[in-house]
Amino acid sequence: MMMKVVLLCVLAATLAFTIGILLGHFAIDKGSSVPDWVRDASRDVDEKIIKTFLDQLDTNQLRENLRELTKVPHMATTAGDEGTVQFLLKRWQDPNTGLDNAWREDYKVYLSFPNKSNPNKVSVVNPENAVLFAAREREKPYKPEQEDPDVAINAAKFGIVGLLVYTDPYEMNDGLVSESDTYPHSWYLPPTGVERGSYSIDFGDLLTPYLAAKDDTYRIPKEDITGIPPIPTQPIGFEDAERLICELDGDNAPDDWQGSLNCTYKLGGPGFKASSSFNNSNVHLDTFNTESLVNSANVMGVIRGSVEPDRYVIYGNHRDSWVHGAIDPSSGTAVMLEITRVLGKMVKEGKWRPRRSIIFGSWGAEEFGLIGSAEYTEEYFSKLSERTVAYINVDISVFANATLRASASPAAHGVLFTASKQVDAPGTTLSVYDNWLKYSNRTSPNYGIIPNVGFLTGAGSDYAAFMHYLGITSMDISYYYDRTKTKARIYPAYHTAYDTFDYASTYIDPGFTSHQAVARTAGNVLLRLADSLLLPFNCTDYAESLQRYLSEAVTTFESKLAAKGISMESLKKAVKLFSDTANKLDSLIRDSDLANETPLMVRQINDQLMLLDRAFLDPLAFPEQYGFRHVIWASRSSSVPTFPGLADAVEKAEGTGLKEDWDQAHKHLSIVTQAIAGAAHTLDNVI
Amino acid sequence: MMMKVVLLCVLAATLAFTIGILLGHFAIDKGSSVPDWVRDASRDVDEKIIKTFLDQLDTNQLRENLRELTKVPHMATTAGDEGTVQFLLKRWQDPNTGLDNAWREDYKVYLSFPNKSNPNKVSVVNPENAVLFAAREREKPYKPEQEDPDVAINAAKFGIVGLLVYTDPYEMNDGLVSESDTYPHSWYLPPTGVERGSYSIDFGDLLTPYLAAKDDTYRIPKEDITGIPPIPTQPIGFEDAERLICELDGDNAPDDWQGSLNCTYKLGGPGFKASSSFNNSNVHLDTFNTESLVNSANVMGVIRGSVEPDRYVIYGNHRDSWVHGAIDPSSGTAVMLEITRVLGKMVKEGKWRPRRSIIFGSWGAEEFGLIGSAEYTEEYFSKLSERTVAYINVDISVFANATLRASASPAAHGVLFTASKQVDAPGTTLSVYDNWLKYSNRTSPNYGIIPNVGFLTGAGSDYAAFMHYLGITSMDISYYYDRTKTKARIYPAYHTAYDTFDYASTYIDPGFTSHQAVARTAGNVLLRLADSLLLPFNCTDYAESLQRYLSEAVTTFESKLAAKGISMESLKKAVKLFSDTANKLDSLIRDSDLANETPLMVRQINDQLMLLDRAFLDPLAFPEQYGFRHVIWASRSSSVPTFPGLADAVEKAEGTGLKEDWDQAHKHLSIVTQAIAGAAHTLDNVI
């Protein structure tokens, strides 16, 4: 009995001991338990959140956004533009679907406008001063939108004095010229459609290069303005152009100058034909444009990052149009607003907050030379340089509804592929990625056949200041043409009074499914950049692009340089070094368990990736070209797809044969070599 | 009995339960326990480590370092220089007291040297071509060091053709001229002492601006070299100078041209006096310098950081001298080697590893124009810009033994004070800080009376490329004169053959206690920069400096600018914004418990502090001045201690009265305004 009691007692004690251990271990919170931020800091992008986000992007919302944005013409700094500013602010400050914060930033910029009460005139005037012909001052109205009093034809800015430009139906209408073949009967440009535009090759406000255009900022004298044509330029429709061109005398123009107007194009040396009623008459161009300092606003909105608020993913699009601008730029603004609606709602409902901060920018005065985005980068240069992970540009979101098109820094090609694989291509059973592959592809030594992503070598939209001036990894995304179906240079209503909601919803994207595909692809890229633990940038893809450029440079220029005693060996070594260090960093990433690494180690790698494009900046490399500092992607005159400074300098030297020009070629070779080697050092072991 | 047994049993079970709970809670590791890196990431600087470090810095080691470094002349790129390269490498690769890694980096730089077998000649030659007088080709030997065959008098480089320079005993010897009053009987300059030097105002290799001077780097044509005087210049001793000056005829030279030579200085317009044996004779200057591309090495060494290896604290000093260079620069190299010995030992013994990485640089060819450090910053521009926390320069460590002297970016003033308070001032009962306060102080609106720290506005030593070109928070530290005891411009043996170990250990710092005080102060600063959880930089101190500069600018220039319609209001607003955001960041820091914050939050603030000086860079602000990009501290011609671009532009405009020059003043006002506002944005809430 006693034994039993003792046994029971030992059993009870053992049980109590065990329970005690279990309670002690699991039930009592250790004072030194893992802080919450350890988990937060290592959290990766959530695929469920991505799916939820993609599902909520809605074609009806996109349509209504576009309708609202295109009610009136909203050329930069006009009342219509201010209306869109207010609309954007209202949306981004909405308590249920808005962002954490939204505000406007104003700049005082120098623009040239037509005079509404005294429009520019193109006329044919005979020796007795009788007007034999006058070009239209407005496009022919087919819909109420064209009757808006703000449908003025804006001449290309500044110095308008001698050039008439028109859009030939050959390059825009697949040759069609008659009214019955064009809008509103098809997507083609009506005979009276006038393509407006700016001819500036610089970007940013013309009077304040490198300085944000504030009230009392120093402004250069107007006569020192660079980057615009020295003679006046006035756009006209092809109906008016036909009247002038088909009356011209002289030798036949070259074959590749011939277009689809109903005559043989002549050079017009002696003037109009003797048989023409215009014979002995002159063409008069009277311009009454006025230049003024006007207020242009950017609208900014942010979602604060939870873990790394000091890292920015910027998504932007301009807001100003030439006329109603349904496609350019409102198709992009409609997409941006739909993305912010869904993200804003998730934030307001407490369902999500990004790891990094997201900044949305609705830029002003893009059509006059990328002004809003350029002023923004000038004003916040340091902050943006230090902290910006990437810039996503969606300007015209839908040119046409066939396929995705993207241009980007090579670092971002991978994330474009990942995102586009998760989105359905409208009108197909394929993903956006697989559909894209059908329309445009190339063979990569690393991956085989992949979609062809362009490089951002020019200044075609607001990515310019981010990519070229700040060296921020940028990308430009849209939906695009089936090139087998049209030769149109761009959608035919581009920059005319026919680029309206009616045009866009009838001919470009009736179901708004292409808008949705772009919203999903760009939005997916945005979320991945904002939420991924490891930035989805690939430095070995960058190495591949440098190798392509090197290979072109060697093929085209090596023997020419060698003949002048200039060796390309150091450049080859630099590219090799870049590839080697990129591979090394890639291996480090592959071999690391980043979710269990210290957040500072992850940040270190992310900083290497974030700053990779920055390492290619050289503010003195292209002293003649405003804002172009990225020695790999700067704009280039040469047709050889390679390092721009080198290509242009060698071609110039070949032309002149001058020692000093070959010296410049050597200098550009050294500049690009040092930039690539310097970038390679940033990818190497940090110490 | 049974009750007792049951009671005992309950007691045993209770005890077992309790022990179980305790074991369960404390003895069993929870799977989700705090990772080690959480503790490491929040660790702050360890004052015990600092004390240990300071205690181990040894005067005997410093003396022996200096003896070893000064055995032979080691002018840049000579065999003597290569000897010091090997010595540095041996020390930094020592298995017991060396660094983690050490290596050399070579550049091919363009230097001018005297021809040993055909030295430059200064002579007086009469009309019959008889040499009446010849200046000495070497200094008079008093000790074996002066008999070293490498004691050649190096003419200032390039274009030597017309100027003789000498050091007047008035400015260097407190007026003493006789051999018996000078070295080796005192620290004063002997009559035959020749002060060598470079007259370049640019920095870096002259043929490869902005490019690291590698084998096949593009080199500008020699005729395009800028930044050096257009006429030949040859230094001579004051004994020889006296022979020439005291024989001159003509009007008396102005009072402030008169010196301590034993005659009235004449302007010499008509040549030599009629009574002089040199009458009708000419002075001949024959220079045989040769320029060549030669190899110059930096020696680099690193200690890898444990927590933030991608953050660098750089400590540097040049290695090359004009002759033996005991004070310039070997006193600094001796200090650097003693710091690395003690730190290296602590690392090798496993007792310490810094939070951030430490890079040591022994720069080559400083005397020819800060070449080694400039080439290094050109080659590694991106990596260094992204990651460098601070640069500490200790060139001449001990000019004299009275007091600390320091110049620094305002961000670093605080850490200099903290460090110097912990070091004893040699020969006093005071701390280095309190002793310093006695010699040089100012009244700060924030702190009251504090030591006066200079600004790094010029290019006097290797900090130039770091501060001005890279925008890295830099400082320059040394021990200095009691200005009540001597008017000497600098220690009298400076750049002569008398700057030897004997001179240094007899007259400058016999007990090497001033060397030790500098090693302790600079080393303490280094450790605090490397180990502090929060970078010891102060943005409100920066604001105070900007306010001082603004106040000077307003006092001196506001009415002049207003008269031209240029307002300073935006500049005032920018400085106010900077002060406000600096205060805000300071409050955030004060109110945060950083040791318990997420490492990414601490990193965010540290990045704001680290990149503060970077935010003032503008690569286009001073197109005429190589490498000067920091718009606050760039070199300035104006004597007004304020924003250099503004001051120089206003003074130029006042001189010429030209509209275009007032435009430039306005432009510089906008540049500095934008830079300060931009920097303020980086201190503001990150989003």
* Token representation of residue B106: 């070579």
pLDDT digits (tens, 9 = 90+) for A105-135: 999 999 988 787 888 889 999 999 999 999 9
Q: According to the model, what pLDDT value does residue B288 have?
A: 83
pLDDT digits (tens, 9 = 90+) for A454-510: 999 989 999 999 999 999 999 999 999 999 999 999 999 999 999 999 999 999 999
| Whether the predicted pLDDT of B635 surpasses 50 | yes
Residues 6+ apart with CB under 8 A from B506: B184
Peptide bond into B184 cis (omega under 30): yes
Confidence of residue B300 (pLDDT cuts 50, 70, 90): very high
A422-426, A516-520, B225-229: least confident range: B225-229
Shared domain for A546 and A615, answered yes or no, is yes
Which domain-ending residue is among A503, A531, A559? Answer: A531
Mean pLDDT within B244-260: 93
Q: According to the model, what pLDDT value does residue A259 have?
A: 95
A1-5, A613-617, B547-551: least confident range: A1-5
A97 falls within a domain: yes
State which H helix or E strand residue A79 sits in: helix A79-92
Taking the C-alpha atoms of residue A367 and residue A374, their distance in angstroms, rounded to an integer, is 12
Set of chain A residues whose Cβ sits within 8 Å of the Cβ of B15: 13
Q: According to the model, what pLDDT value does residue A27 have?
A: 61
Set of chain B residues whose Cβ sits within 8 Å of the Cβ of A21: 20-21, 23-24, 28
ipTM of the complex: 0.93
A234 falls within a domain: no
Nearest residue on chain B to A301, alpha-carbon basis: B687
| Whether the predicted pLDDT of A262 surpasses 60 | yes
B570 falls within a domain: yes
pLDDT digits (tens, 9 = 90+) for A576-592: 999 999 999 999 999 99
Question: What CATH number has the domain bearing residue B598?
Answer: 1.20.930.40
Confidence of residue A267 (pLDDT cuts 50, 70, 90): confident
- Minimal C-alpha gap between B577 and chain A (Å): 14
Mean pLDDT within A662-684: 98
Using DSSP, state whether A302 is helix, strand or coil. Answer: strand
Mean pLDDT within A280-306: 92
Shared domain for B379 and B495, answered yes or no, is yes
Taking the C-alpha atoms of residue A264 and residue B559, their distance in angstroms, rounded to an integer, is 68
Which domain-ending residue is among A478, A503, A531? Answer: A531
Q: According to the model, what pLDDT value does residue B353 have?
A: 98
Mean pLDDT within B478-495: 96
Shared domain for B310 and B456, answered yes or no, is yes
Shared domain for B495 and B364, answered yes or no, is yes
Share of chain A above pLDDT 90, in %: 84
Shared domain for A513 and A629, answered yes or no, is no
Residues 197-236 on B with a CB inside 8 Å of A are: 208, 210-212, 214-218, 220-221
Beta bridge partners of B109: B294
N residues, chain A = 687
Shared domain for B334 and B481, answered yes or no, is yes
A1-15, A632-646, B539-553: least confident range: A1-15
Share of chain A above pLDDT 70, in %: 94
A417 falls within a domain: yes
A483 falls within a domain: yes
| Whether the predicted pLDDT of B32 surpasses 90 | no
**Nearest residue to B216 via CA among B227, B207, B206:** B207
**Nearest residue to A674 via CA among A594, A558, A577:** A577
Taking the C-alpha atoms of residue A545 and residue A554, their distance in angstroms, rounded to an integer, is 14
pLDDT digits (tens, 9 = 90+) for B60-75: 999 999 999 999 999 9
* Token representation of residue B442: 């100012």
Shared domain for B308 and B393, answered yes or no, is yes
Which domain-ending residue is among A531, A560, A589? Answer: A531
Range of the domain at B567: 539-683
B4 falls within a domain: no
- Which residue did the predictor score with more confidence, A554 or A30? A554
pLDDT digits (tens, 9 = 90+) for A301-359: 999 999 999 999 999 999 999 999 999 999 999 999 999 999 999 999 999 999 999 99
Mean pLDDT within A187-213: 91
pLDDT digits (tens, 9 = 90+) for A86-99: 999 999 999 999 99
A32 falls within a domain: no
Other C-beta atoms lying within 10 Å of the C-beta of residue A309: 22
| Whether the predicted pLDDT of B156 surpasses 50 | no
Cβ contact, residue pair A33, B37, below 8 Å: no
B412 falls within a domain: yes
- A268 burial (CB, 10 Å; 0-12 / 13-18 / 19+) is middle
Shared domain for B303 and B412, answered yes or no, is yes
Q: According to the model, what pLDDT value does residue B158 have?
A: 43
- Minimal C-alpha gap between B215 and chain A (Å): 9
Work out the mean pLDDT of chain B and round it to a whole number: 93
Confidence of residue B160 (pLDDT cuts 50, 70, 90): very low
* Token representation of residue A38: 């350890």
The reply to whether A366 belongs to the active site is: yes
Q: According to the model, what pLDDT value does residue B152 have?
A: 87
* Token representation of residue A73: 């013409």
| Whether the predicted pLDDT of A156 surpasses 80 | no
Mean pLDDT within B411-420: 98
Q: Does A37 touch chain B (CB under 8 A)?
A: yes
Set of chain B residues whose Cβ sits within 8 Å of the Cβ of A22: 20, 24
Shared domain for A512 and A414, answered yes or no, is yes
Mean pLDDT within B16-45: 74
Shared domain for A578 and A522, answered yes or no, is no
Q: What is the 3-state secondary structure (H, E, C) of B426-485?
A: CCCCCEHHHHHHHHCEEEECCCEEEECCECCCCCCCCHHHHHHHCCCCEEEEEEECCCCC
CA distances from A118 to A121, A166, A495 (A): 9, 21, 21
Q: How far is CA A433 from the centre of its chain?
A: 20
Shared domain for B511 and B563, answered yes or no, is no
Q: Catalytic: which of A338, A366, A367, A378?
A: A366
pLDDT digits (tens, 9 = 90+) for B103-123: 999 999 999 887 878 888 899
Task: Work out how many domains chain A is built from and give that number.
Answer: 2
Question: What CATH number has the domain bearing residue A75?
Answer: 3.40.630.10
Shared domain for A580 and A527, answered yes or no, is no
Work out the mean pLDDT of chain A and round it to a whole number: 93
Q: Which of A11, A306, A600 to mutate to test the interface with B (most CBs of B within 10 A)?
A: A600
Cβ contact, residue pair A15, B20, below 8 Å: no
State which H helix or E strand residue B660 sits in: helix B659-683
The sign one gets for the Cα dihedral B609, B613, B615, B616 is positive
Set of chain B residues whose Cβ sits within 8 Å of the Cβ of A567: 216
Q: Which of A25, A303, A667, A681 to mutate to test the interface with B (most CBs of B within 10 A)?
A: A25
Taking the C-alpha atoms of residue B659 and residue A287, their distance in angstroms, rounded to an integer, is 31
Q: According to the model, what pLDDT value does residue A227 have?
A: 73
Q: According to the model, what pLDDT value does residue A200 have?
A: 75
Instruction: Point out the residues of B that are catalytic.
Output: 366
Nearest residue on chain B to A310, alpha-carbon basis: B686
- Minimal C-alpha gap between B387 and chain A (Å): 9
